[in-house]
Structure 1
Amino acid sequence: MSIIRSVCVYCGSSNYVDEVYKQAAKETGHLLAAAGLDIVYGGGRVGLMGIVADAALALGGRVVGIIPDHIQKFEVDHAGLTELHVVDSMHTRKRMMVERSDAFVVLPGGIGTLDEMFEIITWRQLQLHDKPVIIVNTNGFWDPLIALLDHMQDTGFMRKPNLPGASQQLYHIVQNVEDILPALALQPAPTQKVETERL
């Protein structure tokens, strides 16, 4: 895993969630910071996003936030980050997050998290990048989604990601935060640069 220096974390911005998800966010921030990995995320100070950032910063970790100006106007940006980039659009934000990251970790979240997760998996399927995508199924949160993905594969609308001889594994699912680093260590090293001109 030596080539992975930065991890993008996708997660929810809601504060009105069960404590189990907040704890998982805190553990993720601690885990990645303790491993010396930079965190790239959406730049918010609220919800799981803020918890991940605060946990990493508390251990001296580097946290890079990327937030669109129309969201910053609601005063939800995190003022204590290592770097905060205010950009002109959601598209620019997502592209920069991909460019600044060597791998992706998906924690529980809402439709924004789903948008980011499906986009990064789709880009991988289209071979625009080959960076690892780890989905953390805290407390079975993603079980309905996993069932849907299985259904899409079983009905032929999506390629099965783990077939023998498949060119790449689109995503990897773990059940607990402590499984993130072992899962990243097992993933093939990314070899290609993100082809942003084709995004």
Structure 2
Amino acid sequence: MNIFVSCSSSDKISDEYKVVTRFLMENISKDNDLVFGCANRGLMGICYNEFLKNNRKITGVCYEMYKSDLEGLKLDEVHMVKTLEESNRFLEENADIILILPGAFGTLSEFIDILEHKRTKLHNKEMIIFNINGFYDDLINMFNKIYKKVSNDYDFNSLCKVFNTALDVTNYIEENN
């Protein structure tokens, strides 16, 4: 199964997220392949290295302006893009599961775009938020508030699974593999 992992590529991210991400990746990288954004830093680097250790297929998407990020990466396939839209469509189309880990604007952009595609039935792939130490609590509350007060044509919880432990994420992926 191809798992697109959307997450931080910054080395400045707190160790509390790195430790848990490494544990999760040690588990899910054994039987799955990685689709990701081509950085060997931050949580993204942890993901890349765990899949690499397990000799899994690694597919990357990379913006033309960040092609220097490809140096030193061992990828089975790389897809160069110019726009966010191209990147998101490639990631969405080439993944069986979309997994969201802590990240910043790039992660949020990918997540919200792909979530909207699921809401409008442009895909029906499993979407998972790994809510490490409550990282996404405020965002999840905002989505639930939107549902209750603005637009009740969908329920966020029907579009996306939220898990708080690496074991729950691992079990869910294994059950859907």
Q: TM-score, normalised by structure 2?
A: 0.90
Are positions 1:183 and 2:172 aligned together?
yes
Aligned with residue 100 of structure 1, among 94, 101, 114: 94
Misfit runs of 4+, over 4 Å: none
Aligned with residue 151 of structure 1, among 132, 145, 167: 145
Alpha-carbon shift at residue 185 of structure 1 (Å): 5.4
Are positions 1:13 and 2:9 aligned together?
yes
Alpha-carbon shift at residue 102 of structure 1 (Å): 0.7
8 Å CA contact retained: 2:26, 2:50: yes
Alpha-carbon shift at residue 130 of structure 1 (Å): 0.4
Structure 2 unmatched ranges of 5 or more: none
Alpha-carbon shift at residue 137 of structure 1 (Å): 0.4
Q: Which residue of 2 aligns with 1:124?
A: 118
Q: Which residue of 1 aligns with 2:59?
A: 64
Aligned with residue 27 of structure 2, among 26, 31, 40: 31
CA RMSD across the alignment: 1.9
For the residues of structure 2 that align with 1:156 and 1:186, how far apart are their CA atoms?
A: 34
For the residues of structure 1 that align with 2:160 and 2:116, how far apart are their CA atoms?
A: 10
8 Å CA contact retained: 1:44, 1:76: yes
For the residues of structure 2 that align with 1:29 and 1:82, how far apart are their CA atoms?
A: 18
Q: Which residue of 2 aligns with 1:172?
A: 161
Alpha-carbon shift at residue 76 of structure 1 (Å): 2.2
Q: Which residue of 2 aligns with 1:166?
A: none
For the residues of structure 1 that align with 2:84 and 2:74, how far apart are their CA atoms?
A: 22
Q: Which residue of 2 aligns with 1:76?
A: 69
Give me the identity figure in percent.
Answer: 26
Structure 1 unmatched ranges of 5 or more: 163-168, 190-199
For the residues of structure 2 that align with 1:118 and 1:87, how far apart are their CA atoms?
A: 19
Alpha-carbon shift at residue 186 of structure 1 (Å): 5.8
Q: Which residue of 1 aligns with 2:133?
A: 139
Q: Which has the higher helix share?
A: 2
What SS is found at the alignment partner of 1:85? strand
8 Å CA contact retained: 1:174, 1:180: yes
8 Å CA contact retained: 1:46, 1:76: no
Are positions 1:112 and 2:106 aligned together?
yes
Q: TM-score, normalised by structure 1?
A: 0.81
CA gap of 1:8–1:47, structure 2 versus 1, over 3 A, is: same
| Paired residues, number | 175
Alpha-carbon shift at residue 140 of structure 1 (Å): 0.9
For the residues of structure 1 that align with 2:142 and 2:32, how far apart are their CA atoms?
A: 32
